[in-house]
Amino acid sequence: MNWTWLWVVLGLFLIISPAFWLLPSRRQKGQMAMRLAAGRQGIRVSMVRPDWPHWMLDHVANETAQYTWVRKRASQPLVQFWQVSAQVWHNKWREPLEDQDLLAHLQTLPADVWSIEIGPAAVQLTWAERGEVSGLEAVSQVLKSL
């Protein structure tokens, strides 16, 4: 039996297989598609390492995507809220959000949105991007409506 062909095939496999590690996974392709769609809507997307409150460290990642909608309202004070569980939002003192109008907006967001910061220059939220493109629609509506 001629073992040369087997060695050639095995050698090609060993040479080509590491190249497949460089291809993006299905989840990474979905994230790229969401980020490109957000960019087309005027939303800036960047990867950040947020400074999480100590009581959120068990729930969040070290690095996450931050979606930013730039606005021009100088009168809005800086406020930030964190989603501690699905549809439950707290402020930095770990008090529940009581503003029902704002809570109605935030409850439309996906469960993997970890925080939102509303300031005079921009509205920013951190998102794990685990959902579908429909989650991007909810994120876009909340960013633009605040």
Please give the mean pLDDT across all residues of the chain: 86
Query: Would the pLDDT of 109 be above 70?
Result: yes
Give mean pLDDT, residues 107-127: 89
Q: Where are the domains of the chain?
A: 26-145
Q: Is the pLDDT of residue 21 over 90?
A: no
Confidence of residue 128 (pLDDT cuts 50, 70, 90): confident
Q: Tokens 């050639």 label which residue?
A: 8
The pLDDT value given to residue 126: 92
59-70 average pLDDT score: 86
Rg (the chain; Cα; Å): 21
Neighbours of 41 (CB within 10 A): 14
pTM of the model: 0.80
CA 137 to chain centre: 13
pLDDT value at position 74?
Answer: 61
d(CA 97, CA 142): 16
Determine contact, residues 49/63, Cβ cutoff 8 Å: yes
